[in-house]
Structure 1
């Protein structure tokens, strides 16, 4: 009987899907291209979709999106669900990215009724806040919106440099505003996506700029040959010379794919630190030079570390350089060496490796603050400059340190703390008492999570490795396998999926839903070994861990395949893409959000060269082997019963090109035998998600949630005969 009921339910969803769509799916021709990688021939039937400026591709994507919109609009519960999501998202303030300079407090804030984050300042903590930059006022007549990408106050808090971009593109144009008057200076610098403005005492600053491209430049040239410049307020940036970066100094080795940065700290005013980022690779090259007030003086750089030294973070204080390293320390250690004569071979280990993962360090005037991750829980330690003693700082609850902030000229620190069930609050740490007090910058969210709880379990992966799994749901959950369950996985770059509070998920919990987060390998939950265990040739572990989490949720009756959805965002597209192509039977639905689906072709994107250290290159045999194995697009099989899938992309995405979602959509639509929908959602005023407005995020979440409820058979989300 259960089998018959399930068949009827699936049949109803399939027939309804076919009937309610007001527009039709476009014809998708196969124009196969075959590549030969080291003797292995690989067919690519939808290569033509990579040219997203071609008229036929533009028309195809628009037709796909029109079809998706007609389907999603026909789900009866979507409207009320969107209203609920908006109410939850507008229930309280959100404050982020706090910085304290010159006694002033600068931060992003999104208020109820506001559609985008804005830049605010307080002249002191208990002073009234003032609005500095409101990107909503820049919205164009055609509706295209602008967002603030970053900001950096000057050392005395007099000025703020900030980046503004259109349509979620992250194509920042750097501006400068006076914080007391709100006057915007005439300084305007384009090509500043990675601006990283770093102020000097004289109100000039270093920043990084991309090269000027020509009409025939390859897509991969976009983020190549970067240079760091020294900008003097009022000067023409196009006439200022580069001071660091590609082909600037014979003393500094920089490839065309590297990202340069010059840092100055008032905590160590006699020195500059030059940093070379090798794309997304954590390990950096570091150089030190004496700081010279004469802007025309030649910088004499001395090499401190290269990639072999495994330096992932640093800070400075007076004559000391503090370094975070995983060299013979998978969970990281902290070293100290002299800035005037740096010598890593004889550096002092001031924080020894242990069972906790050292996430980062931040230098204040009184101490070095060490941020840790202990079994998924954020911890903090204080290392005194005076006697070298290190002691834990007691936090008000177990959760995540979402942000750690210090000022090298002030004692103490500021922390943003949150958990799965507690909204973020900003705390100030008193350097003498070591007590944390609520700053009052943001109030506790009024969204009531009192009936929501979280569980932390471990699941056994294919090779026996125990993988952490976080499960969040309403209290009193009956484990009968009936619950709509939303499983998220990422697993790349050593990034951890820390606990975070999401008010809009309450709309999912209210309908019996479960949110789960798989802390798969490739992330950094257990240090660098955990990261490397899900990278390149070991990437299958990431997928195995996601599958193991799905199996655990089913076996322990949190959910069932008919009620389980998997999600992967960005590099997580590899994770969910691998899971659904290898085990489509485990999932009733899936979300591939701005996902990397065609890994074999990813290095041809603008962001491709920067990502080679994480995923590999097809120019090498092992690189091809790894990329082919993780390429979900290449593992879509004909006549296979795939789950219902909603793929999303932003037309302005600079990180994962929209053609990735397009190609994956086309191949799934041509291959699935389940009759379940494969939908492509395109936002033409968005990018990778950074810079999206609150309205855009709410609309997207409503689409995703309604899609899942529809596929899971949730009452109120099933189209009726009247809608056919």
Structure 2
């Protein structure tokens, strides 16, 4: 049976074969990479409309969408990142229960009156296109705030600077400040930022993120007042490869730190100088360490340097020393490697703060910047995970957000004395601690004996009868670990009788650097085979059965679910690749492909090509195989994973699959990679994913209706 939907355009085959190291690779839908071509655009539109119409017909979807809205709106607001500044000022993003997008707000202390500084909905009303705040950074004195705003999920953020007292914009909008990288001069009158180049007409798209710059300009300055301090591709004042990204941070005592990253690796290189030397045009940068030294986090307090490194310590150690003569090779070990995994460092006026993963729980520690100071644990009120907020190195203490699988995210302040208090910035809601939901943590034996962490979220009375609709989620790339997090929308799935499982295969860093490297490039197959082992465990333990089991993964998680489907199509009822990286052989030809070479490899080398071909779902799909039902989701404006990853793979699957199961292509023409989505966009997609899985797992009440 064909999986080509009747009455819809059939993708034309126009094969483009290429030979790499003696292996010919076919690309039957190469022409789909031109999404503006009339036939391709028509195919996309027709299949997108078909997907929307089909999903709308699923019996329980409308009620599910209303339930998702009700749960999300049960708290009076959702609060995002919080930044503290002098004068007890708090800057944060907030979205009211009936609002669709986050605003930037400020207040003086937790009991102060809230003021809205910037509302991106005003831009949507003016243009018809959703806009979002991608990042923000307030100056240390709280006098001004910089923010990046982009449209339609593009992430092409432009820099705006606002005066906090009045909310008025100071100076013009500065384009191409995608990721911020904001730092401020000590007097708050100069803003440092990272910027990508303006591509010349006719330049290859792959150069979009190359030769990026670390810049500075006066607050309120114009394009002509911008000074480039570091540029990738230049040999001086620092030799930076064209494909890497330079950032500059100014510390409270006037020191300047330059960090250079390759875009995807957690490791970076760093140099130090002073702001005075930068202003004088004679920075004389001195190296702190190279990328090969394995440093993934750095904090500097006065002349004390703290760094976490995996060099000789796969689960990381904390080392330290002093400026100006800091030598990473001779640095003292302050915290040796242990069974726990050391994470991010943040400098505050009183101490350096460090998160540490102990099993599936994060713990918070602090160390004063004095010789011989001990590492002290900060006792947290919830066992789960957290992020340490943006640094405010001129102030004591830190702000963290804290949550678990079954406790909603709250925002806490940590004082210099180690006391922890709920800021109450995040309003409480009735679903914050659902007593009927629990998490079961297990270790699953993989194909080669490795033990893989699997978290299973379920109602306390869930029967182990093999009949539960189960959604298994994973990512497992870049050393990113799936930590315990609370999702209001996930409650709707659990309420409907579903089980939700989260795996941490190799490729994540749940057990440190070695675990990451064991699922990267040539070892990438471990990633999906660990995932398959987790799926087999859920079946063997009667949580579910193959006809009730679905898998879901986004972005690089598309490799995970796509290849799990290719290797074990019999194990799953449904597959949902979201903004999936699915054609890895062609990834390097895209703007974001070159920065990803350190993680996945390059097709210009034989080992890199072999690894990329092995992980490329598009190329691993075989004719005549009975594949499960698949729903691809993608934002057409995605700057990270080109939408043709989805359309090419969907066309190939429709032509190849012999199961007759549906292949849906759910496209959002006002979205990108998911960053900056409105609440409506996010809940619509979540309703579609859950409803599709319920339908394809055969749950009563979720059939298609006329």
**Normalization by structure 2: what TM-score?**
0.97
Once the two structures are overlaid, the 10-residue window that deviates more, 436-445 or 494-503, is: 436-445
Deviation, 1:293, is 7.0
- Secondary structure of 1:185 counterpart: coil
Structure 2 equivalent of residue 470 of structure 1 = 455
1:45 paired residue among 6, 21, 28: 28
In structure 2, what is the equivalent of residue 235 of structure 1?
Answer: 221
- Which residue of the partner structure matches residue 339 of structure 1? 323
Aligned 8 A contact 1:72 1:707 in 2: yes
- Show the counterpart of 2:428: 444
Deviation at residue 687 of structure 1 after TM alignment = 0.4
User: Cα offset for 1:340?
Assistant: 1.5
Match of 1:547 among 523, 532, 538: 532
Counterpart among 310, 329, 334 of residue 313 in structure 2: 329
Moved over 6 A (4+): none
The answer for the alignment partner of 2:70 in structure 1 is 87
**Contact residue 124 and residue 130 of structure 2 kept, 8 A:** yes
Q: Root-mean-square deviation (CA), in Å? A: 1.6
C-alpha contact (below 8 Å) 2:301/2:369 kept by paired residues? no
1:285 aligns with 2:269: yes
Aligned to 2:484: 499
Q: Do structure 1's residue 24 and structure 2's residue 7 form an aligned pair? A: yes
Equivalent position to 1:35, from 5, 8, 18: 18
- 1:250 matched to which residue of 2? 236
Structure 1 residue 671, shift from structure 2 partner: 0.7
CA distance in 1, matches of 2:607, 2:472: 31
Cα deviations by residue, 1:630-667 (Å, 9 ceiling, x for unpaired): 11111101011111000011111000000000111011
1:479-628 map, 5 Å: 479-628=464-613
Deviation at 1:155, TM superposition (A): 1.1
Is 1:181 aligned with 2:144? no
Distance in 2 (alpha carbons) for counterparts of 1:190 and 1:238: 13
Shift of 1:426: 1.0
Normalised TM-score (structure 1): 0.94
CA positional deviation for 1:405: 4.9
Q: CA deviation at 1:142?
A: 5.9
Distance 1:665 1:469 in 2: 29
* Structure 2 Cα separation of the partners of residues 376 and 187 of structure 1: 46
Aligned-residue offset at 1:245: 2.1
The answer (yes or no) to whether the contact 1:336–1:350 under 8 Å persists in 2 is: yes
Please state whether the residue corresponding to 1:455 is helix, strand or coil.
strand
Describe the SS at the equivalent of 2:664.
Answer: strand
Instruction: Confirm whether residue 205 of structure 1 aligns to residue 191 of structure 2.
Output: yes
Establish whether residue 160 from structure 1 lines up as the match of residue 145 from structure 2.
yes
Q: Give deviations 1:223-254, integer Å, cap 9, x for gaps.
A: 11101111112322245231112255524111
For 1:126 and 1:249, locate their aligned partners in 2 and report how far apart those are by CA, in whole Å: 51
Unaligned runs of 5+ in 2: none
Deviations 1:80-107 (A, max 9, x none): 1111111112211221211111121111
CA distance in 1, matches of 2:230, 2:506: 36
Residues 239 and 296 (structure 1), Cα distance of their counterparts in 2 relative to 1, 3 Å cut:
same
Q: C-alpha separation between the residues in 2 aligned to 1:391 and 1:702? A: 44
Query: 1:381 and 2:365 equivalent?
Result: yes
Contact 1:329 1:353 in 2 (8 A): yes
Please state if 1:673 is matched with 2:658: yes
Matches within 5 A, 1:362-381: 362-381=346-365
Shift of 1:156: 0.4
Select 1:646's aligned residue among 606, 631, 651.
Answer: 631
1:17-52 CA deviation, whole Å, 9 max, x = no partner?
Answer: 99xx8x832121111111111111111111111112
Correspondence for 2:299 = 315
Write the deviation string for residues 612-634 of structure 1: whole angstroms up to 9, x where unpaired: 00000000010011111111111
Aligned partners of 1:307, 1:182: CA distance in 2, in Å?
A: 40
Aligned residues: 701
Residues 59-85 of structure 1 show CA distances to partners (whole Å, capped at 9, x for unaligned) of 111111011112112212211111111
Partner residue, 1:9? none
1:656 aligned to which of 641, 645, 654: 641
1:74 aligns with 2:60: no
Aligned to 2:249: 263
CA distance in 2, matches of 1:666, 1:141: 37
How many Å apart are 1:590 and its aligned residue?
Answer: 0.7
Q: Choose the corresponding residue for 1:59, options 35, 42, 50.
A: 42
Counterpart-to-counterpart distance in 2, 1:445 and 1:529 = 40
Contact 2:304 2:369 in 1 (8 A): no
Conserved in 1, the CA contact under 8 Å of 2:443 and 2:451? yes
DSSP 3-state at the match of 1:115: coil
Is the contact between residue 277 and residue 284 of structure 1 (CA under 8 Å) also seen in structure 2?
yes
Q: Deviations over 1:393-423 (max 9, x none)?
A: 1111211113345522222222110001100
Structure 1 partner of 2:620: 635
